[in-house]
Structure 1
C-alpha cells in the first residue's frame, strides 16, 4: 500500500489560489497544502483551513517572494525591502543564516498565531535545498518537531535518518503523475510518496506578481478529473493521506 500525499504549495498566495486549492481538496485528490504566511492571502487561507480540517496544512517557508515578516534584514532583501529573487540563490551566494533563521521562525510563529497546527515544513522554490540553507531548515524542523519534504539530496544530507518524511518526492505534477497505472507501477517500491502541485484560480494579484499562472488551472483540472478521482480513490494499492498519517 502506497501512502500518497498530494500537496499544494502556495496556500495563502492570494484568495484565488486559496479557492483553487480548496476545490482541489474538496472535489479532487488533493490531501495537503503548505501556507505562505507572508503573503496577502494568508489569513484567508487559515480561515479556509479551519473550516476544512480534513486538509493537512503545513508551513511553506518563504525567502524568494514578497516581503519578509521581520524588518531590518540586510542580506536576504533588496533595496526595496523585498525578498531577493530565486536567481540570487542559484549561484554562489552569501547570506546571514541567522537572518534566515529569525525570518523563518517568525513565519512559523505567525502560522501558529493564526490558530493552525502545522503538519510539516517545506519551502517556496525549494529554497531550503540551496547551499547550506538546509541547515536552518532542519534546525527549525527539529525545534518544532515537524516532518519535512524530502527534497534535499542524500549526498548532502540524508534527512530520512533524522526526520519524518516520505520515501520519495515527485517535484512536478503532470497527467502521468495522476495516472493510476503509472503510480502503481513506478511508486510500488515506496511506502510513501509526495507529489507537489500548484493548483489555483487566477486573480489580478497573481497575474501581476507570478510567472506561474494559467498552468495552475491546468493542474486544478487534473486533480478534480472524474476518472482520476475514481481510479485513485478506489485503488487497493493507494491510500490518500496527509503528513499527519505518515
Structure 2
C-alpha cells in the first residue's frame, strides 16, 4: 500500500505576515492544504493570495479562541466575554489533568459550538465561493465540540477531524499523526527541525497502517499581531524552514510517499 500524506498549514488568515509564510510553504515546500480561519480580519487577505493558486486546497480551521465570532455574540454566550470577543483557550476549563493549555472555567456548549461552526462555514463560502471539503478545530477541543462537528459532518457530507480514523460510506479514513505521537506534539511546540521528522520515521508515518495520513504545521512569518495573540511565535518560522527544506522532500520521495490533499478522502 502506497502511503499518502496530507500536509496542512493551520491558522491561514491569522495575520497578513503569517499568510505570506503559508503561501511560501505551499509554493516552495510540501504543504498541500491551507486551513482558513474565516472569522479573522486577515482572512480576506489569505483568500486573495490563495486565489492565485487554484490547486491549493482550502479547508476550514474552525476557531473559537481568537478574535471575534462570525455569529451574533448574543447567540453564543458560552464562547464570548462581555465585549463579544472569544475567550482565550487559557480561560477554558481543562478537559483532563494533563491539559496544560486550558486553566480556567469556561465550558463551551454543544449548541454554541454548532452555531458558530456553521457561521464560520458560511463565511468561508462567502470568501472563497465554495464550501470547504474538510473542517477541524483550532487550539482547544471538547466532547461537546466533537459532537457538534460530527453532526455537521453527517448533515453536510463534509469530512471533519472529529471523524479521526473512521470510515463512512462516502469518506475514507484520514489518520491524524499529531493525535498519535507525543514526539510530534512536543516538536511542534518547541519548534520543528528536519531531524525531528527523519529520526522518528516521519513521526510514525512509515509505521502507520493507514493509506491516508495527516500532518499539521504552522508555517509562517511573525508580526506584531502574532506576537500579541499567539503562544506560537518562533515555532512558526521553524516550521516554515522545515517544510521548505529539500531534505524533507527527498525523504518523502525516498519512501515513496505521495503528497495529497483532502480531495483524496472522498470515495
The TM-score by the shorter chain falls in which range?
A: 0.7 to 0.9
Q: For residue 139 of structure 2, give the secondary structure of its aligned residue in structure 1.
A: helix
Deviation larger for 219-228 or 47-56: 47-56
Deviation larger for 102-111 or 167-176: 167-176
- 1:66-100 per-residue CA deviation (whole Å, 9 max, x = no partner) reads 11112213211112211112231424764432222
Q: Aligned residue for 1:239?
A: 258
Deviation larger for 4-13 or 206-215: 206-215
Q: Aligned residue for 1:186?
A: 206
Give the Cα–Cα distance (whole angstroms) in 2 for the partners of residues 36 and 185 of structure 1: 27
Q: Aligned residue for 1:48?
A: 49
1:15-30 → structure 2 map (5 Å cutoff): 15-30=16-31
Contact 2:150 2:162 in 1 (8 A): no
Q: Aligned residue for 1:106?
A: 119
Runs of 5+ unmatched residues, structure 1 = 153-157
Contact 2:32 2:259 in 1 (8 A): yes
Runs of 5+ unmatched residues, structure 2 = 96-104, 180-184
Give the Cα–Cα distance (whole angstroms) in 2 for the partners of residues 61 and 219 of structure 1: 21
Q: For residue 182 of structure 1, give the secondary structure of its aligned residue in structure 2.
A: coil
Q: For residue 51 of structure 1, give the secondary structure of its aligned residue in structure 2.
A: coil
Give the Cα–Cα distance (whole angstroms) in 1 for the partners of residues 133 and 207 of structure 2: 23
- 1:18-62 per-residue CA deviation (whole Å, 9 max, x = no partner) reads 111110011011111210011111111111222112221110111
Give the Cα–Cα distance (whole angstroms) in 1 for the partners of residues 65 and 138 of structure 2: 7
Q: Aligned residue for 1:167?
A: 175
Give the Cα–Cα distance (whole angstroms) in 1 for the partners of residues 199 and 106 of structure 2: 41
Q: Aligned residue for 1:90?
A: 94
Number of residue-to-residue matches in the alignment = 238
Is residue 28 of structure 2 the alignment partner of residue 8 of structure 1?
no
Deviation larger for 89-98 or 139-148: 89-98
1:228 to partner: Cα distance: 1.5
1:104 to partner: Cα distance: 1.1
Is residue 156 of structure 2 the alignment partner of residue 144 of structure 1?
yes
Q: For residue 57 of structure 1, give the secondary structure of its aligned residue in structure 2.
A: strand
1:236 to partner: Cα distance: 5.5
Contact 2:3 2:210 in 1 (8 A): yes
Q: Aligned residue for 2:102?
A: none
Give the Cα–Cα distance (whole angstroms) in 1 for the partners of residues 85 and 25 of structure 2: 30
1:198 to 1:34, Cα distance in 2 relative to 1, 3 A = same
Contact 1:9 1:34 in 2 (8 A): yes
Q: Aligned residue for 2:245?
A: 225
Q: For residue 132 of structure 1, give the secondary structure of its aligned residue in structure 2.
A: helix
Is residue 137 of structure 2 the alignment partner of residue 123 of structure 1?
yes
